[in-house]
């Protein structure tokens, strides 16, 4: 498979949906000789059509607007530096304003805010990821997938226009200082953490997005499920972004597709890393890792943690089946404001998702059902809350959370056949 690791670079608080590697398929191959019309034709011929999930959601093909470069320059004030929302390996994301009805550029704070991702014009990888985004987000529509409004391919520049996600990424709330989208500034690290109920809401929404992809007419394997790819609107509704590594699932009765190993170290399923065999339930493993991050407040991989705690799954797994041990590894910023029984059920679900054999993992529809039941358990003070500060002291003996909540963006190695830099700015936020 020829996988290699590349260290991620820091990104700003807003991240846009770019990719470490494109998922361009034969029917949608990257070429600088193609036109915008070729892109539309490629999307419409890439299969899928309309389908319905068991929850009744419909995969309709969105109508994408072809924006003019001049209009996007106007919407972002000529891509001024003070409109930058984030940067990644293959492009920069800007905040712009357009008319809600006509999508014409408008003045600042007038009309509808959008996120405009501008791929590096000298990067073939940037072109491929641009095409992969149009291919998948241009085909599916669901409340838990970020909405692609349109694109621009003009003067050898490749741009994508997304809905604006006010709360940014889940990653920014779990691991970094938060961002005030109105005052355009970073808030202190001690800003209010996500409460238990909101974490469950986000987890359920993200799970519904994956379930939708897996149950579409031509199942889609997301392949890069992680906290930085989960975006949040103003109500903390979760939406999946960054479809650059997505692939269509197996067909003709096959159990998996074979592809070179790509993704983010710490989230990729072990069978995929070892063999390049990609199953639909390889996504379920990644979901389990993110749910573990949401419970503990710790990153999946962090070289700054003490020896033995570098990989979160290996360190935390033994504690997930014991109430006393689980309480010790729970995110101390939750301040014990969660039902321990609910946390135990979530931990049990994590263990199921992290099963070594993909066949033993639950489907994402089963995950959604379980999370909904967990959310029904009322939040009430945990027994022994009066000793909560002591509990946090005990947590310190593990040496984990003093590292897990650093405001720095920790480097995370990524898998990539070309040794591509792992970071990427990521869709629609602030």
Residue span(s) of the chain under CATH 3.30.200.20 come to 7-170
Q: Which residues define the annotated binding site?
A: 117
Dist CA 283 CA 302 (whole Å)? 21
Q: Which residues define the annotated binding site for ATP?
A: 117
| pTM to 2 decimal places | 0.76
Dist CA 332 CA 351 (whole Å)? 21
Which pLDDT score, from 0 to 100, does residue 220 have?
93
Burial 198-229 (b: 16+ CB within 10 A, else e): ebbbbbbbbbbbbbbbbbbeebbbbbbbbbbb
Dist CA 338 CA 249 (whole Å)? 37
For residue 195, give the DSSP letter.
P
pLDDT digits (tens, 9 = 90+) for 215-255: 988 899 999 999 999 999 999 999 998 887 888 998 877 88
Question: Which CATH number is 7-170 given?
Answer: 3.30.200.20
State the residue for tokens 């929404």: 205
Residue span(s) of the chain under CATH 1.10.510.10 come to 191-416
Dist CA 116 CA 124 (whole Å)? 19
Q: Per-residue pLDDT for the chain (430 aa), expressed as one digit of tens each?
A: 333 333 333 333 344 433 333 333 333 344 555 555 555 445 444 444 434 343 434 445 568 999 999 999 999 999 999 999 877 656 788 999 999 999 999 999 999 999 999 987 777 767 877 888 888 888 889 999 999 999 999 988 899 999 999 998 999 999 974 444 443 444 444 557 999 999 999 999 999 999 999 998 889 999 999 999 999 999 999 999 888 788 899 887 788 898 888 888 999 999 999 999 999 999 999 999 999 999 999 999 999 999 889 999 999 999 999 999 999 999 999 999 999 999 999 999 999 999 999 999 999 999 999 999 999 998 765 555 544 444 443 333 333 343 334 333 343 444 443 333 344 444 454 4
Catalytic site includes residue 331: no
The DSSP annotation for 127-194 comes to HHHHHHHHHHHTT---TTBPPEEEEEEETTEEEEEEE--TT-BHHHHHHS--EETTTTEEPPTTSPPP
- Considering 224, 283, 302, 409, which one is annotated as catalytic? 224
Provide the token pair at 138: 């241009």
Integer angstrom CA distances of residue 171 from 139, 147, 157, 298, 352: 26, 19, 29, 10, 23
* Whole-number average pLDDT of the chain: 78
* CATH class of the domain comprising 191-416: mainly alpha
Q: Pairing between strand 148-154 and 65-66?
A: parallel
């Amino acid at each position: 498979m020829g996988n290699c690791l590349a260290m991620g670079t820091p990104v700003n608080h807003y991240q846009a949906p770019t990719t470490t590697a494109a998922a361009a398929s034969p029917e949608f191959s990257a070429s600088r000789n193609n036109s915008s019309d070729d892109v539309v034709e490629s999307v419409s011929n890439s299969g899928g059509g309309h389908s319905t999930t068991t929850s009744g959601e419909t995969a309709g093909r969105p109508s994408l607007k072809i924006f003019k470069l001049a209009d996007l320059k106007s919407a972002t004030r000529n891509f001024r530096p003070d409109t930058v929302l984030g940067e990644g390996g293959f492009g920069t994301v800007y905040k712009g304003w357009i008319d809600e009805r006509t999508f014409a550029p408008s003045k600042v704070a007038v009309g509808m805010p959008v996120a405009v991702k501008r791929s590096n014009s000298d990067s073939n990888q940037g072109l491929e990821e641009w095409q992969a985004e149009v291919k998948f987000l241009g085909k599916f529509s669901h409340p838990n997938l970020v909405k692609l409004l349109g694109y621009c391919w003009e003067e050898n520049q490749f741009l994508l226009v997304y809905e604006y996600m006010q709360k940014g990424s889940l990653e920014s709330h779990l691991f970094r200082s938060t961002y005030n989208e109105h005052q355009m500034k970073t808030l202190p690290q001690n800003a209010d953490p996500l409460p238990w109920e909101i974490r469950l809401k986000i987890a359920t929404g993200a799970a519904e997005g994956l379930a939708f992809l897996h149950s579409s007419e031509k199942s889609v394997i997301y392949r890069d499920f992680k906290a930085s790819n989960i975006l949040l609107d103003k109500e903390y509704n979760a939406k999946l972004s960054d479809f650059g590594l997505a692939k269509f699932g197996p067909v003709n009765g096959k159990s998996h597709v074979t592809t070179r190993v790509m993704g983010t170290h710490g989230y990729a399923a072990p069978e995929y890393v070892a063999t390049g065999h990609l199953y639909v339930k390889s996504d379920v493993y990644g979901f389990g890792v993110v749910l573990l991050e949401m419970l503990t407040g710790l990153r999946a991989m962090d070289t700054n943690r003490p020896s033995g705690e570098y990989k979160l799954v290996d360190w935390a797994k033994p504690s997930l089946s014991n109430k006393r041990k689980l309480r010790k590894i729970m995110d101390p910023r939750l301040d014990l404001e969660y039902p321990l029984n609910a946390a135990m059920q979530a931990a049990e679900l994590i263990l199921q998702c992290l099963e070594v054999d993909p066949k033993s993992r639950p489907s994402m529809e089963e995950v959604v059902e379980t999370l909904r039941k967990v959310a029904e358990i009322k939040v009430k003070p945990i027994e022994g809350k009066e000793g909560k500060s002591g509990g946090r002291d005990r947590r310190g003996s593990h040496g984990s959370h003093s590292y897990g909540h650093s405001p720095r963006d920790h480097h995370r190695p990524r898998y990539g056949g070309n040794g591509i830099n792992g970071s990427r700015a990521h869709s629609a936020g602030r």
